[in-house]
Amino acid sequence: MNEELFRRTKELFLQCLDAPVDDRASLLDDACGTDEELRAEVERMLDEHDQVGDFLEVPPSVVFADPGSASSGHRPPELLPEELPRVVAGRYELTKRIGAGGFGAVYHAKDLLTEQPVAVKLLPEMSPFELSLLRREISAQRLLRPAGVARLFDEGVDENGLFLAMELVEGRPFPGRPATGSWEDVRDVSLALLETIARVHTVGVVHRDLKPANVLVDAGGRPVLLDFGLSAGAAIAPDLSGALAGLGTPAYCAPEQLRGEQPDARSDLYSFGVMAFEALAGRGPHEAENINALINARLTEPPTPITELVPDAPPHVADTLAKLLAPDPADRPRSAVEALHLLRGEDAPVQAHALVREVAAGYEDAPGASFTEDDLRSLFAGPDRLFHLREDAARELFLRTDGDPARVAEELDAWVRAGLGRSSGEEIAVDRASLERLHAGLRVVPPRPRAGDAADLGEAQEELLAWITLAWPRTEPERLARLSEAEPDEIDRRLAMLERAGAIRRRRDGRAEPLVTSPVFDGAGDEKRQELHGRVAAALAPGTLGRLYHLTAAGKLDEVAPEAIDAAGAMANEGRLAEAEVLLAEGLHTLRRQADGDGEAALLAEWCRIALMEFTPRALDRVMYELSRTARRGDATDRMEELVRAAVSMHETDADRALARAEAIEPFDDPELDRLRQRVRVNAARHSTVEEQERVLADIEGWAETQRDRHIEGSLAEVRGLLCYRQRRYEAAADEHARAAELYERIPSRLSALLNRASSLLEAFRPDEAREVAEEARALAARCRHPFFEGRATWLGRAARYRAGAELAADDELIEAVRGIGNLDLEGMVCRLESAIAWRAGDREAARSLAAEAQRCWHAIGSAWSTLLCRALALAAGAEPAEGEVAELAGRATSCPYPRMAAEMLGLLTRAGAEPTPAWNDVLERVRKTVPRASWSVRMHVLAVSELPCETP
């Protein structure tokens, strides 16, 4: 074919396409005349055109969600209204579009598994680079389980592309009401939002797109943060159509963001400032007619002072807003926590002193008397239950102050300044993480020098004083002797001299407490300090609390990773998992700050080991977050991440994906990590079919033979126990777990085995034994300060008593504490039990509200049947059913694969007015057959077999 012919063919072809089909023949007659060749070509093209379909239409790509499958590589899947409803991942039915974020559209959807509404976001296809950015943000959102942030339930890939399933938040954009010009009206919601932002920043995440549309205020006036950092990915990757996608709505962007610089936490604060300003005054701090003018104004003009618009605004509010809206980030508050103090109008130091004075005033004894450790507890906010916050805070405080009121006030003040605690009404709130840091000796609050006390102490004494300052609070004389390389007698002499000079105080246990700073530090350069810290580190045995801090301060970076690993490992084996985490985090962040990546992989491996030992969603999310942030991505970290993802998915998503994920991971070279891989595999199999579980178990048993390791044998026993449990052979399960508990040496593993044993005993209708085991577990967990395990053990003990028929009183404290753990499964179980207890006690209102809360928890995890059971309980306690709901639920209950649960549902629904039908007989018969008569009076989740309805003839 030549060029000329082609050109003419093309021209005619296109003309024909434009013309009505009937006219084509005459068109060709006119244009071609006698040129048969031309006509033939055009006709062939037209023929071909009818069949071209989607040939070449979309470039292919391979998506590795399931190995071996290929997707059709769709572009941004924004579904048109005609395409709805559409089911995603076989589970979420998208019904209506509710918004378009910077990175994809959001839909109202129904979770077909739990029948509850969720929000589903569909994301456009993206490059691996963008995907890894997104991954980071996703793990950030998973990490943020506590209130104030929309929960992320599920994420994955289906043929539409990537999707995220999130909590559906119903509410109005911040502040949820029109501006009234009164600070009182917006204060609570603004502070709540700032608290949430502070929490988010604490885990190192920046939102980058704060605006009213991303903060919905629910009916209770609580703000919930949405669209979490997802638009952040787009802010970095340029969108191919030339615009900078997802820059954030300019109206709420900080000036530096508008200039294209990378936003950080202070940019979030600016955006918050704009929102708060607007909430109060009804308009923003800059006014302009259009977006461009607004951007201009934001970049060049100072913000309007709030007092110009709201003259009555309290001065501290006006000041804080002005600070938040400072064009230069350096002029803004340094952190959300600081901003909170400012906005609250607090002056933290005054607060601490006032508190202490108040507490002191409450004591009959003469003022100036010391506080005991117990006294100090009332200074702190709880809960003590499961978290032991007050008692531990009081102990740390006492350790550092001996109970002297003036020093207590000073120390508390220092804690608040350092961000370890914050004012919470009339108490100081110190969270678990801060307590662990205080206990681990990492956060050393330095003594404040008293002016003018640098009397001439003598060189040796000055040096000793320097050691005391550095090593505090581990300043036992023996240690000081080692540090200064002197004889113990000599040390005693010098300490006496220092004490006489008022430079130190001796504690009852012999430790020396510094009261002034040593002149050695005057003008001491960094090098000198580093050298001193180095010597302290050298004098401490590896793994000693505090050594890590000194190594870091000494700049001995190559020792940081091994120390962190050793110390954390030792802590973890003893069950002190929170402390272990703190040590690892310190080590990791030190390494990252110094940009030395080598120790990171080893550290992360240890962290994985510990997180997988603990196996709670929180711990797993945390390590996954750290893994996703590592600069040195490599084969090892990728596989660790996959391992942790597989573990995480067991807590939240459908079964199959967990096992497939776990099995897709290649064996590790590191034997410890590989053992974990096997363990994760076996755990994942629990959520698959029984056949799969048996297959995996057989496979692992073969592998375990080659290992000859007590811990592995224990794991196997535990896994067999879990399989038995699943097969409803509860007695056998209990025995296997008992064996596992004996074999395990590491405390967290023992705890897990004990708890599983108690669970099995419970299901085997042996509540008294279950209670004993649960109590043993609880005591152990309390010693380890492990809120989640302690919570589970407490619940088991209480459930055991309930099942044995005890009349129990409500335990509101427990419910409150469990909420703080952030584990939905546990929360659901506790609320359900407490609901049953309330119901038995006749408190129907409490029973209903607790049942509803449990229902919400189960729904969030996707446990459909547990959700149903809770609803049945609520109805039995007098909840108002929807039209035909009771009969409908009864119908569904008969198809529940867990007979006992099904029977309980039916029993409860009877009390809500359901009429037994023959369809129920199967279920009821089966339960009566499989449960021994002797156990018919023992309760199950709520009801006992003897309380079930009889079969219908």
Partner 1 sequence: MSDDPEQDEATSITRLLGRLTHGDPRAAEELLPLIYAQLHRMARREMRGQRADHTLGATALVNEAYLKLFQGEGQDWRDRDHFLALAARAMRQILVDHARGKNREKRKPSGRPVPLDEILESYEKKDVDVVALDDALEKLGEMDPLMVKVVELRYFGGFQVKEVARILDVSVRKVEREWQTARTWLRKEMA
Residues of this chain that bind partner 1 (CB under 8 A): 1-3, 6-7, 10, 13-14, 17, 44-45, 48-49, 51-52, 55-57, 59-65, 67, 70, 73, 75, 125-131, 156-157, 162, 236-238, 240-242, 244, 260, 634-635, 638-639, 642, 645, 661, 664-666
Question: Which is closer to partner 1, CB of 132 or CB of 292?
Answer: 132
Question: Which is closer to partner 1, CB of 142 or CB of 390?
Answer: 142
Question: Which is closer to partner 1, CB of 27 or CB of 236?
Answer: 236
Question: Which is closer to partner 1, CB of 345 or CB of 667?
Answer: 667
Chain-centre distance for alpha carbon 489 = 52
Shortest distance in whole angstroms from residue 52 CB to partner 1? 5
Question: Which is closer to partner 1, CB of 34 or CB of 241?
Answer: 241
669: its two tokens: 């070279």
Shortest distance in whole angstroms from residue 665 CB to partner 1? 7
Shortest distance in whole angstroms from residue 559 CB to partner 1? 30
Question: Which is closer to partner 1, CB of 507 or CB of 639?
Answer: 639
What number of residues does the chain have? Answer: 953
Rg (the chain; Cα; Å): 33
Q: Taking the CA of residue 839 as centre, how many other CA atoms within 13 Å lie in the half-sphere pointing to its CB?
A: 26
Question: Which is closer to partner 1, CB of 10 or CB of 450?
Answer: 10
The residue whose two tokens read 């040939």 is: 55
Shortest distance in whole angstroms from residue 138 CB to partner 1? 11
Provide the 10 A C-beta neighbour count for residue 707. 16
Nearest CA to 761 among 735, 793, 789? 735
Question: Which is closer to partner 1, CB of 683 or CB of 866?
Answer: 683
User: Do 162 and 119 meet the contact criterion of CB atoms below 8 Å apart?
Assistant: no
Question: Which is closer to partner 1, CB of 135 or CB of 316?
Answer: 135
Shortest distance in whole angstroms from residue 233 CB to partner 1? 11
Provide the 10 A C-beta neighbour count for residue 711. 17
User: Do 181 and 282 meet the contact criterion of CB atoms below 8 Å apart?
Assistant: yes
- The CA–CA distances, whole Å, from 638 to 134, 617, 715, 917 equal 15, 19, 25, 55
- Please calculate the CA angle 574-577-582 and round it to the nearest 5 degrees: 125
Shortest distance in whole angstroms from residue 667 CB to partner 1? 12
Helices (H), 325-388: 336-344, 348-361, 373-377
Question: Which is closer to partner 1, CB of 126 or CB of 564?
Answer: 126
Shortest distance in whole angstroms from residue 636 CB to partner 1? 10
CA distance linking residue 580 with residue 610, whole number of Å: 8
291: its two tokens: 């977006």
Question: Which is closer to partner 1, CB of 635 or CB of 742?
Answer: 635
User: Do 939 and 805 meet the contact criterion of CB atoms below 8 Å apart?
Assistant: yes
Shortest distance in whole angstroms from residue 39 CB to partner 1? 15
Nearest CA to 372 among 391, 348, 351? 391
Question: Which is closer to partner 1, CB of 55 or CB of 525?
Answer: 55
Shortest distance in whole angstroms from residue 332 CB to partner 1? 25
Question: Which is closer to partner 1, CB of 8 or CB of 529?
Answer: 8
User: Do 810 and 606 meet the contact criterion of CB atoms below 8 Å apart?
Assistant: no
CA distance linking residue 584 with residue 603, whole number of Å: 7
Question: Which is closer to partner 1, CB of 56 or CB of 934?
Answer: 56
Q: Which helix (H) or strand (E) holds 840?
A: helix 824-840
Contacts of 34 (CB under 8 A, 6+ apart): none
Contacts of 815 (CB under 8 A, 6+ apart): 830, 831, 834, 850
Shortest distance in whole angstroms from residue 658 CB to partner 1? 12
Shortest distance in whole angstroms from residue 370 CB to partner 1? 60
Distance in Å from the first CA to the final CA of the chain: 86
830: its two tokens: 């506790």
Backbone dihedral angles phi then psi of residue 210, each to the nearest 5 degrees: -75, 130
* Strand pairing report for 92-101 and 104-111: antiparallel
Question: Which is closer to partner 1, CB of 36 or CB of 691?
Answer: 36
Chain-centre distance for alpha carbon 556 = 32
Shortest distance in whole angstroms from residue 241 CB to partner 1? 6
CA distance linking residue 443 with residue 116, whole number of Å: 45
Question: Which is closer to partner 1, CB of 130 or CB of 431?
Answer: 130
User: Do 628 and 135 meet the contact criterion of CB atoms below 8 Å apart?
Assistant: yes
Contacts of 93 (CB under 8 A, 6+ apart): 85, 86, 87, 109, 110, 112
Shortest distance in whole angstroms from residue 75 CB to partner 1? 7
Shortest distance in whole angstroms from residue 135 CB to partner 1? 9
The residue whose two tokens read 């209130």 is: 147
Provide the 10 A C-beta neighbour count for residue 862. 21
Backbone dihedral angles phi then psi of residue 223, each to the nearest 5 degrees: -80, 140
Shortest distance in whole angstroms from residue 431 CB to partner 1? 34
Nearest CA to 156 among 692, 625, 636, 652? 652
CA distance linking residue 841 with residue 850, whole number of Å: 14
Question: Which is closer to partner 1, CB of 240 or CB of 451?
Answer: 240
Nearest CA to 251 among 204, 289, 222? 289
Chain-centre distance for alpha carbon 861 = 14
User: Do 530 and 553 meet the contact criterion of CB atoms below 8 Å apart?
Assistant: yes
Nearest CA to 515 among 454, 439, 440, 456? 454
Shortest distance in whole angstroms from residue 750 CB to partner 1? 33
Shortest distance in whole angstroms from residue 97 CB to partner 1? 21
Question: Which is closer to partner 1, CB of 34 or CB of 51?
Answer: 51
